[in-house]
Amino acid sequence: MATISVINNYLELDVMKKYIAEFFGTFWLVLGGCGSAVLAANFGGEGNPLELGFLGVSLGFGLTVLTMAYAVGHISGGHFNPAVSFDLFAGKRFSGSDLLPYIIAQVLGAILAGAVLFIIASGNGALDLSGSNPLATNGYGSHSPGGYNLFAPLITEIIMTFMFLVIIMGATDRLALGGFGPSAIGLALTLIHLISIPVTNTSVNPARSTGVALFCGNMEIIAQLWLFWFAPIVGAVLGGWFYYQFLETGIESRPLQPIESEPRD
């Protein structure tokens, strides 16, 4: 009985490690990606060599995924995004029993990052929440950086998420080049931001959108959050289904899979 108890405790610890990794990874994604947009994108004014601009912010998001995929991807699979979890579930690479706990961990990590970013950005007394995208929020209409109406952001988020998740599925296939999955995924997210920042400020991640929206002080932006849950999840499910039906090699994939919960000797 004592041995069984020790094994159960170990299995429970391994399960918690997966959720902690997802919380921590999503926290870093939102803090690093949105932080680069809020704190450094326009630092010093236009033309200042220290400002990041669109390219820098795009790289900021890509680098957060790249670094966390290497840091904790072997623990949880490195989703850091409810859309990724839905995609892998649709692509039959992820257990439905873990879907809700992963999403909760991701959203909580994003909310903590939003709170930390708000505190940091408020530190010099110059934080302006009256703009169209305060705290790097996502939006459409008057809250789209380029003023795009509802239809354009809807299509953009579905297609960008679809492509992102097809890339993830392919880059982590057993037949893909070993060790390069996180690099391909990070570069894909960078490219997606380069394309879609003007349209929606780029979400493709419901947790990322939620984490900063809750602290922006604008109910219009919060009311638009539905789009940044609906569109990425639709795109993700379509991406997972498409890859599984038409591109899957039929060989066990490398992941994005969490660690196996097996007791050690």
Confirm whether 207 is domain-assigned: yes
Confirm whether 35 is domain-assigned: yes
The 8-class DSSP code of residue 258 comes to: P
pLDDT band at residue 27 using 50, 70 and 90 as cut-offs: very high
Amino acid at 186: G
Quote the domain boundaries for residue 193. Answer: 2-247
Neighbours of 222 (CB within 10 A): 15
Radius of gyration of the chain, Cα coordinates, nearest whole angstrom: 19
Q: Is the pLDDT assigned to residue 207 strictly greater than 90?
A: yes
Through-space distance between the first and last CA atoms of the chain, rounded to whole angstroms: 17
Provide the domain count of the chain.
1
Confirm whether 260 is domain-assigned: no
CA distance 177 to 181: 8
Are 149 and 155 in contact, with CB atoms under 8 Å apart? no
Confirm whether 157 is domain-assigned: yes
Q: What is the mean pLDDT of residues 68-96?
A: 95
Q: Is the pLDDT assigned to residue 242 strictly greater than 50?
A: yes
The token pair that represents 165 in the structure block: 């998740």
Confirm whether 259 is domain-assigned: no
Q: Is the pLDDT assigned to residue 42 strictly greater than 70?
A: yes
Numbers of helices and strands, H then E, in the chain:
9, 0
Confirm whether 179 is domain-assigned: yes
119 burial via Cβ count (<10 Å: 0-12, 13-18, 19+): exposed
Name the average pLDDT for the chain: 90
Measured CA distances, 128 to 30, 122, 131 (Å): 19, 9, 7
Confirm whether 232 is domain-assigned: yes
pTM (predicted TM-score): 0.89
Confirm whether 258 is domain-assigned: no
Are 78 and 256 in contact, with CB atoms under 8 Å apart? yes
CA distance 169 to 146: 31
Q: Is the pLDDT assigned to residue 122 strictly greater than 90?
A: yes
CA distance 135 to 188: 23
Q: Per DSSP, which regions of the chain are E strands?
A: none
Q: Is the pLDDT assigned to residue 104 strictly greater than 90?
A: yes
pLDDT at 18: 96
Tens digits of per-residue pLDDT, 188-204? 999 999 999 999 999 99
Tens digits of per-residue pLDDT, 60-81? 999 999 999 999 999 999 999 9
CATH for 76: 1.20.1080.10
Q: Is the pLDDT assigned to residue 86 strictly greater than 90?
A: yes
CA distance 89 to 79: 11
CA distance 8 to 191: 43
Residues 6+ apart with CB under 8 A from 171: 180, 181, 184, 185, 188
pLDDT at 47: 66
